[in-house]
Amino acid sequence: MAGRRGALIVLEGVDRAGKTTQGRRLVAALCAAGHRAELLRFPERSTEIGKLLSSYLAKKTELEDHSVHLLFSANRWEQVPLIKAKLSQGVTLVVDRYAFSGVAFTSAKENFSLDWCKQPDIGLPKPDLILFLQLQLVDAATRGEFGHERYENGTFQERALLCFQQLMSDKTLNWKVVDASKSIEDVHEEIRALSEDVILCAAQRPLGELWK
């Protein structure tokens, strides 16, 4: 496998769709099958920028909306050297939320165009596969109460979902919509199979640049 790059696989979807559950499971299954795979998540709360974002999400800090959007993007950019290094070493990265969440959540706010929201993330490593875990908001509600973080409410999630739908109409990206209302095991199996295919394909082609 020397010289083969890893695949960049992103999990997106509304709150409680199962991104974290599936991300962990996918990495475990890929490793068990002999791949090198690791999990990343955004926001990455451990960095200085990540700590600011964590405090903002916990509603302990107020930040201006444009400014916080750029900080979420910066939090992805600061991981790019690591992402590129891992991929080039042949490690497949499974990422729990990425630029699409960043864009969907800001453009769900008043007076933010999708186009403006995409700008700072242009040129990030382009995912080889984006798994959108599709779940009706009413079904998500059966998976427990909303948490107490910012953005965790029904109206906001609905607006964000509309933005995700606009982003998914972009045919330059490899979106796969997965029915996240199925059992954890069935969703996992579908995601695992899609990921195995994309790992083979990604090894043959260079990493792309998002929205370029």
Residues that bind Mg ion (CB under 5 A): 19-20
Q: How far is the CB of 20 from ligand ATP (least distance, A)?
A: 3
Q: Does 16 bind ligand ATP (CB under 6 A)?
A: yes
Closest contact distance (angstroms) between CB of 4 and ligand ATP is 29
Query: Which of ligand ATP, Mg ion, none binds 12 (CB below 5-8 Å, type-dependent)?
Result: none
User: Judged by CB under 6 A, which of 21, 75, 92, 107 binds ligand ATP?
Assistant: 21
Among 51, 80, 143, 200, binds ligand ATP (CB under 6 A): 143
| Binding status of residue 76 toward ligand ATP by CB under 6 A | no
How far is C-alpha 196 from the chain's CA centre? 18
Q: Which partner, ligand ATP, Mg ion, none, binds residue 68 by CB below 5 to 8 Å per kind?
A: none
Rounded least distance, CB 17 to ligand ATP, Å: 4
Chain positions contacting ligand ATP, by CB under 6 A: 13, 15-21, 143-144, 180, 183-184, 187
